[in-house]
Each structure stands twice: as C-alpha cells, then as structure tokens.
Amino acid sequence: MDAVTITDEPARGALRDTFGRTASDLRISLTDLCSLRCTYCMPAAGLDWLTKAQRLTDDEFVRLAAVFVDLGVTSIRLTGGEPLVHPTLSDLVYRLAALEPRPELSLTTNGVALDRHARKLADAGLERVNVSLDTLDRERFAQLTRRDRFDDVLGGIAAAADAGLFPLKVNSVLMRGSNLHEAPQLLTWALRHGHRLRFIEHMPLDADHTWSREDMVTAEEILDLLRHAGFALTPAPTRGNAPAEEFAVTAGPRHDEWATPVGSLGVIASVTRPFCRDCDRLRLTADGQLRSCLFAQDETDLRAPLRAGASDDELAELIRAAVAGKQAGHGIGAVDFVQPRRTMSAIGG
C-alpha cells in the first residue's frame, strides 16, 4: 500500500483523516440489484438482495447527502448494483442537484437502460456518466454478462452522448483468457467516438472469492499491449485525487481506411499501483452503511440512528469519526489481507 504520513487529529467540521486526506467525493449506492450477472462480479443466480425495508428511502438518501455536503463533500456519484433500476432515479437526481452548495453529480451504470433515461437524467441535473463495457463482441458480451444486452448498452452510450452527459467515460475490465486481446480495439473505438476509456484492474470483490493476484491482468500488461499494438501513450504530468492514471494518446496504429484519432486513456490500477495516499472517497451503501474504503472490513451504521431520530449534528459526528478512522491503505498483497464480505455490487463502485 502507499506510505502515508500521519498528521494531527482532524479538525472539527472537516472530513479529514489522521493521514491528512480530506474526503470530498461520496459514492452513493442506490441499490444492490443489477440487470446483468457479470461473471467477475456475481453468480448466475444473483445474490441475496436487500429488502425494500433495508434500503434507504429517497428522503433518507437526500438527508444524508445534505449532511455530507455540509461537511465539505463536493462530488456525488450514484452507483449500484445498477442505479437505473431505482424507480425514482430522476426525481432523486433533481433533489440532489438542489442541495446547497450544489455538488457535482455523476452516475456509474451498465448502460442497459440508459437510452430510456439519459435525457431525463440530464434534465434533472446529472452531469456525466460512466458506462461499463468490457467487450465489443456481442457473443463475448453475452458470455461475460450472462445477458444478451449488447445493443442496448451501445444505444445507451449513444443516448448519453446525445443528452450532453460529458465527458462520457467507458469502464472496461480485462480478463485473461477472455477479452484481454480486445484492449487495442476498445481504445480505438472509444477514441473514434470521443469517449474516455478507462481500463480497471480486476479487484478482489467478487462474490465467489475466486480472485487471485496471479490471474489478474495488470496495468503494466495493458499498457505494454497497447504500445505493442502501435499506440503512443504519454503519462499526464499530474494526477491529483483521481483514481485513474491518465495518458495522452498521441498516435495509434494506421489502417488502410482510417487513422486512430488522438485522445486520452485512463488506467485504474487499484491493486498494483494503489492511490491510497490521495484517496478522497467515501461510500454509502444502499442500506445506509458508511465505508471509508472500498476494501474496509468495518462500516459505520447511519441508517439506524437516522431512523431513530438522530439530528444532523449527531449524524455529522458519526461521519467525522468514521473518516478519522480511515486506514492508510487497502492492504491488498499484505499477508493479513482479507477480502471484504460484501461484493462490489453491494458496496457500490
């Protein structure tokens, strides 16, 4: 994990941890339900879903979001599961956009239903989307997701672009023995359509707990593959708090009928190149549990005190305490690392 320098205790009123990091980015998982069954995420039969009573209501999501915004959160990303299955998503986006000061609002989706919702979400105040797409092959898409929805995802991406949800980012997980060879094709496709592709290392958050470091495709492998295919990649000079390492694509392989456009590429190497030192993210699960790290073993229950009548100040103190206890790093690779009990679909991406 990254080395982090310990500083003084965080000041009251600021979401700072004991390592000097300030939390300003909140990921809210609206549901653990999903319309796909990706092989690297969940079993074919799905999981034991939360009940409606266990999930937060829209009023509860908005109230907690308001407390986080008062504490300095400036960016809110709606996730899942699949957030587009949330029945009142547009109304919720509208209410979150009305918070003061207004946070930046974005969404991570599998894109299956995006063509039906993109315009409404943009009108409600959503600013940008990240869409998951691991392959450009229809049959492989069906194999990876266990659903034949490839055309729906492409239609959703086009609808999001038409609705002005920019920059539109496409997230891809490359798997050995499956879609790894598609990396150059995915990058070319994204550049030609003006999208920002981000390759993400497969993380130990699968439901079957079969992840292994040896089988995982690393960021270095991906970059080597792209350079071998003819792409010229130049690292960006700075990174800030962004999880992705950015690369300028200044040239690409030439073909008879077209030349690869220039653009950018992001690589999220959470395992091999962790960005814990600069992490500014918090996660609120659909059942109201606050997680200071994607790989945390502990959670802070906000739902129970919220429903028991806690004041905003009391909720804020719980949030501050959770942030203050954030660990230095995720610990993947350490001998005592234990995969979280929750899967990615239950935590929220």
Q: Which residues contribute to the annotated binding site?
A: 27, 34, 38, 40-41, 77, 81, 108, 132, 169, 203, 276, 279, 281-283, 293
| CA distances from residue 193 to 56, 92, 168, 290 in whole angstroms, order as listed | 37, 30, 10, 37
List, as residue ranges, the binding site for GTP.
27, 77, 108, 169, 281-283
Annotated binding site for [4Fe-4S] cluster: 34, 38, 41, 276, 279, 293
Q: Which two tokens stand for residue 326?
A: 């954030």
Q: How far apart are CA 118 and CA 121, in angstroms?
A: 5
Please give the distance of CA 106 from its chain centroid, rounded to a whole number: 10
Burial status of residue 63 (CB atoms within 10 A of its CB: 0-12, 13-18, 19 or more): middle
Most distant CA pair in the chain, distance: 67
> Is the CB of residue 221 less than 8 Å from the CB of residue 212?
no
List residues forming the annotated binding site for S-adenosyl-L-methionine. 40, 81, 132, 203
> Among candidates 158, 161, 151, which has minimal Cα distance to 122?
161
